[in-house]
Structure 1
Amino acid sequence: MAAGAILFCVGATKAGTSWLYRYLHDHPECRLRSIKELHFFDTVDANDYDFQFETWARLRRDLERRLDGAEGWRRGNLQRQIADLDEMTAVLELARGGNMDAAVAAYRAYLAGRPGDDKLVADITPGYALLSQARLSMMAGLSGAVRVLYLMRDPVERLWSHVRMQAARQQREGEDLALKSRRILNRVVKRGLEAHIPARGDYRSTIERLTAAVPAGQLMIDFSERLLTEDGLRRLCGFLGIGYRPADTSAREHEGVRLVIEPGQKLQAQDFLAPQYAYVAQNFGPLPERWQANWMGA
């Protein structure tokens, strides 16, 4: 692949994208900025600039707090993250001002960072899985060297991981995390609430938009359970046009607190997610073992 290639990893949420970011960030042929999720295209589409700017402002305040007293490489790393936040904020300011051509050019320059011979730059934002077909097509059309990756994790495990993450974010002082997680899961699978959580694992909807928007040679759809293996990483590196590097695929980023889903709720989640299992089995089977163990129709 020619220098300047761009990878868009569009999800799914809680399907190994943080591990992938770290792998590519440390790869000598890649250049990834210190912010994993850039939220450029989804912020533009939703016209949700105030939310994104406030999110980054909170992160910047946290980084500044941690910078006080930091030394050595830690201090340099924090300073780099702050600088990257400021630069990406300026990119989004261009977009909010209505100059999209300039904003896209600035976004691409941000990805590149500095002139060099890196084979790949990347934006790993799972929120892009919710983008329209038209926006995904526009992203794929930025150049023939664009590559789009979508990872699928066992639906029940992905849902429970996402629920636990949501519970941890909403947890108040004194609240029991396990109880809060069970309540959120109940709202999802029994009451149809918290719609943003299952939407991030709606494989059928996302894949149908991706396959309609992205040329087949630029798109890779895979199971995270298979990608995060030696054979899977070799396939990925071949797709991206970079050399294979071994890695510890047993390590997990942002796994969160380990809580076991209760048997009754697991059955409800399996029933709720049965259409996702069936769709993936029909179009991408055979399913990995962990999927088969959780699919009631297996």
Structure 2
Amino acid sequence: MAPVILFGMGAAKAGSSWLYQWLQRHPECHFRAVKELHYFDTFDLGSPSAKVKALTQQADRARANSAQLHVQSAISELRDLFRQPENVLSYIDYLEKGAGDARVVGDITPAYALLSRNRLRHMAMIEGSMFLYLLRDPVDRLWSHIRMIAGRQSPRGIVTAEAAEALLSSALAGHEPAIVARGDYHMTLTNLLEAVPEQQRLVLFYEELIEGPAAHRICDFLGIERQTPPQERTIMLGADLKRTDEQHARMRDFLQPQYDAVEEIMGRLPATWTGLEKV
């Protein structure tokens, strides 16, 4: 019996690393050593040749650092996939290599949230495909993303309050569409609900995942034994820089349409989204 193919989607900074690490340790799951494959978004929205170049550099670094052989193989084989025209069967072969009797294989790439409705529809036609979309409080997500990008732009990776504020102001003024698009829950939820049959999709609030019932829904959805996930909600938060009350208010005003859209589509908001807690 062919395994379930999990497409893990989500807004950037919404817990996909936590999900990958948890499911990778589940005895009934098999994930390659590269977490984010970026297969479909590269062919739709990016450049396969640029991806080959990036993976070549990643493979060189892995060899130089004496990374485990399965890590080096995962990177090199993924690079070979992008050297060919898009081929879903080759992609599935990549996912299933080494899977043995695993019931679930997968690709957890948050950027799949940016895919078109038509692309999601075609992915849903793949035998065994299932979609999991994680939502994180929009303000918390945006501030975490701002800190991450500001750190990448700093020569030493140090995020100052001034740099974060400049990037935030630019995003709120409409000059950072890539950052804002990653938190466009209304767009992704609309596309997902229209393109993917109900039985093939699951949407969860990340803040509720470490509480058993929400995590158990993932196991039930995938048809695997329930396991309690780690009690720490690991998110790659970036620099530890607190936002001010004024920044919080500006982000909340800007993102209010996202809160409204999620509440309308999901029927509720988590308690943590409606308070004034800061991450």
- Under a length normalisation based on structure 2, what TM-score does the superposition of the two structures give? 0.94
CA distance in 2, matches of 1:48, 1:120: 29
Query: Using a 3 Å threshold, how does the CA distance of structure 1 residues 174 and 149 change in structure 2: closer, same or farther?
Result: closer
Partners of 2:54 and 2:163 lie apart in 1 by 23
Q: Which residue of 2 aligns with 1:114?
A: 98
8 Å CA contact 2:158–2:239 kept in 1: the answer is no
CA distance in 2, matches of 1:165, 1:270: 19
Deviation at 1:283, TM superposition (A): 2.2
Secondary structure, aligned partner of 1:9: strand
Q: Given that residues 227 and 233 in structure 1 are in contact (C-alpha distance below 8 angstroms), is that contact kept between their aligned partners in structure 2?
A: yes
Paired with 1:174 and 1:252, the residues of 2 have a C-alpha distance of: 20
The 3 A distance-change label for structure 1 pair 183 and 93 is: same
CA pair 171-227 structure 1, distance change in 2 beyond 3 A: same
Question: Normalization by structure 1: what TM-score?
Answer: 0.88
Within the alignment, does 1:94 sit opposite 2:84 as a pair?
A: yes
Q: Relative to structure 1, is the Cα distance of residues 110 and 176 closer, same or farther in structure 2, using a 3 angstrom cutoff?
A: closer
2:276 aligned with 1:286, yes or no? Answer: no
Contact 2:210 / 2:229 at 8 angstroms: preserved in 1? Answer: no
- Does the C-alpha gap of structure 1 residues 60 and 180 become closer, same or farther in structure 2, counting only changes over 3 Å? farther
Superposed CA RMSD: 1.7
In structure 2, relative to structure 1, the CA distance for the partners of 1:261 and 1:284 (3 Å cut) is: same
Aligned residue type for 1:132? S
User: Aligned AA for 1:106?
Assistant: S
- Look up the equivalent residue of 2:239 and give its one-letter code: V
Closer, same or farther in 2 for the Cα pair 1:234/1:172, shift >3 Å? same
Tell me by how many angstroms 1:181 deviates.
1.6
Gaps of 5+ in 2: none
The letter of the residue matching 1:219 is R
Deviations 1:148-196 (A, max 9, x none): 011110000000011111111111148643322221111111x211111
Q: Deviation per CA, 1:19-53, whole angstroms, max 9, x where unpaired?
A: 00001111100000000000110111125113322
Q: 1:283 to 1:3 in 2, by over 3 A?
A: same
Q: Which residue of 2 aligns with 1:255?
A: 237
Equivalent positions of 1:30-41 (< 5 A) are 30-41=29-40
- SS of the counterpart of 1:10? strand
Aligned AA (1:94): Q
- The aligned counterpart of 1:70 is none
Q: For 2:189 and 2:64, locate their aligned partners in 1 and report how far apart those are by CA, in whole Å.
A: 41
Counterpart position of 2:113: 129
Identity of aligned residues (%): 38
1:72: which partner in 2?
none
**Aligned match of 1:192:** 174
Unaligned runs of 5+ in 1: 68-74
Question: Which residue in the other structure is 2:19 paired with?
Answer: 20
> Counterpart amino acid of 1:186?
S
Alpha-carbon separation, structure 1, partners of 2:254 and 2:276: 12
1:8 to 2:28 alignment? no
